[in-house]
Structure 1
Amino acid sequence: MSDFNKQAGSLSEKAGISSPEITNVSAINQIKFKRRQQPTATELIAGILEGNRTSLSRAITLIESTNPEHAEKANEIINGCISHANKSLRIGITGVPGVGKSTFIEAFGTHLTQLEKKVAVLAVDPSSSISHGSILGDKTRMEELVKDENAFIRPSASGENLGGVARKTRESIILCEAAGFDTIIIETVGVGQSETAVHSMVDFFLLLKISGAGDELQGIKRGIMEMADAIVINKADGDNIKRANQAKVEFNRALHLFPPKKSNWQPKVTTCSSITKDGISDVWNSILDYFEMTKETGFFQEKRNEQNQFWMMETINEQLKQNFYNQPEIISLLEQNKKAVQNNEISPFAAAQLLLNQYKKSF
Structure 2
Amino acid sequence: MNKIDRLLNSANRMLRNCASKPSSDWSYVSSGLLHNDPHVSKIFHGIISGERAALAKGITLVESLNSRKKAMGEALLAKLIRHQRDLEAAGKKYTFRIGLSGAPGAGKSTMIESLGMKLTEEGHSVAVLTVDPSSVSTGGSILGDKTRMFKLSQNSKAFIRQSPSKCNLGGVTRNTNESISLCEGAGYDVILVETVGVGQSEIAVSDMVDMFCMVVPPAAGDELQGLKKGIMEVADAVIVNKADGDLLPAARRAQAEYTSALKLMRKKSELWTPQVLRVSSMTTEGMDKLWSLMSSYHQVMIDNGELSAKRERQKVVWMWNHAHDQLLDLFQSHPSVTRQRSDLERQVLNGHLSPGFAADLLLNDFFGSQKK
Distance 2:289 2:359 in 1: 54
- Alpha carbons of structure 1 residues 281 and 93: separation in structure 2 relative to 1, 3 Å: same
Q: Is 2:191 aligned against 1:184?
A: yes
Give the TM-score, by structure 2 length. Answer: 0.81
Equivalent residue, structure 2, for 1:340? 343
- Alpha carbons of structure 1 residues 85 and 318: separation in structure 2 relative to 1, 3 Å: farther
1:257 to 254, 264, 267: 264
The answer to whether the Cα contact below 8 Å between 1:164 and 1:194 also exists between their aligned partners in 2 is no
Amino acid at match of 1:40: H
- Alpha carbons of structure 1 residues 126 and 360: separation in structure 2 relative to 1, 3 Å: farther
- Alpha carbons of structure 1 residues 175 and 136: separation in structure 2 relative to 1, 3 Å: same
Distance 1:263 1:310 in 2: 22
Written as runs of structure 1 = structure 2, the 5 A alignment for 1:111-150 is 111-150=118-157
Equivalent residue, structure 2, for 1:157? 164
The answer to whether the Cα contact below 8 Å between 1:236 and 1:272 also exists between their aligned partners in 2 is yes
Q: Is 2:248 aligned against 1:241?
A: yes
SS at the partner of 1:190?
A: coil
The answer to whether the Cα contact below 8 Å between 1:91 and 1:185 also exists between their aligned partners in 2 is yes
Distance 2:222 2:316 in 1: 34
Equivalent residue, structure 2, for 1:12? none
Distance 1:40 1:357 in 2: 42
Distance 2:266 2:360 in 1: 40
* Stretch moving more, 208-217 or 232-241: 208-217
Q: Is 2:317 aligned against 1:318?
A: no
Equivalent residue, structure 1, for 2:89? none
SS at the partner of 1:205?
A: strand
Q: Alpha-carbon deviation of 1:354?
A: 1.1
Q: Which string of whole-angstrom CA distances, capped at 9 and with x for unpartnered residues, describes residues 37-94 of structure 1?
A: x971121111111111111111111211222332111111111111234741000001
The answer to whether the Cα contact below 8 Å between 2:222 and 2:257 also exists between their aligned partners in 1 is no
* Stretch moving more, 42-51 or 171-180: 42-51
Equivalent residue, structure 2, for 1:51? 50
Amino acid at match of 1:113: T
SS at the partner of 2:181?
A: helix
Q: Alpha-carbon deviation of 1:159?
A: 0.9
Q: Alpha-carbon deviation of 1:215?
A: 5.2
Q: Alpha-carbon deviation of 1:333?
A: 3.3
Equivalent residue, structure 1, for 2:287? 280
Distance 1:195 1:90 in 2: 18
Written as runs of structure 1 = structure 2, the 5 A alignment for 1:68-83 is 68-83=67-82
Q: Is 2:359 aligned against 1:356?
A: no
Q: Which string of whole-angstrom CA distances, capped at 9 and with x for unpartnered residues, describes residues 97-137 of structure 1?
A: 00100000000011110111010000001111111111101
Q: Alpha-carbon deviation of 1:334?
A: 3.0
1:302 to 297, 302, 309: 309
Distance 2:252 2:301 in 1: 28
SS at the partner of 1:40?
A: helix
Q: Alpha-carbon deviation of 1:356?
A: 2.5
Distance 1:217 1:129 in 2: 32
Q: Which string of whole-angstrom CA distances, capped at 9 and with x for unpartnered residues, describes residues 173-222 of structure 1?
A: 01000010100000000211123210000000111112124254421222
Instruction: State percent identity of aligned pairs.
Output: 42
SS at the partner of 1:70?
A: helix
The answer to whether the Cα contact below 8 Å between 2:236 and 2:274 also exists between their aligned partners in 1 is yes
Unpaired segments ≥5 residues, structure 1: 1-37
Q: Is 2:102 aligned against 1:103?
A: no
Amino acid at match of 2:149: M
Distance 2:261 2:338 in 1: 51
Distance 1:53 1:296 in 2: 32
SS at the partner of 1:144?
A: helix
Distance 1:334 1:251 in 2: 47
Equivalent residue, structure 2, for 1:90? 97
Amino acid at match of 2:324: N
Equivalent residue, structure 1, for 2:230? 223
SS at the partner of 1:276?
A: coil
Structure having the larger proportion of residues in helix? 2
Size of the alignment, in residue pairs?
Answer: 320
Distance 1:62 1:72 in 2: 9
SS at the partner of 1:120?
A: strand
- Alpha carbons of structure 1 residues 263 and 128: separation in structure 2 relative to 1, 3 Å: farther
Hey, which bits of structure 1, 4+ residues long, moved more than 6 A?
Answer: none
SS at the partner of 1:274?
A: coil
The answer to whether the Cα contact below 8 Å between 1:263 and 1:294 also exists between their aligned partners in 2 is no
Amino acid at match of 2:68: E
Give the TM-score, by structure 1 length. Answer: 0.83
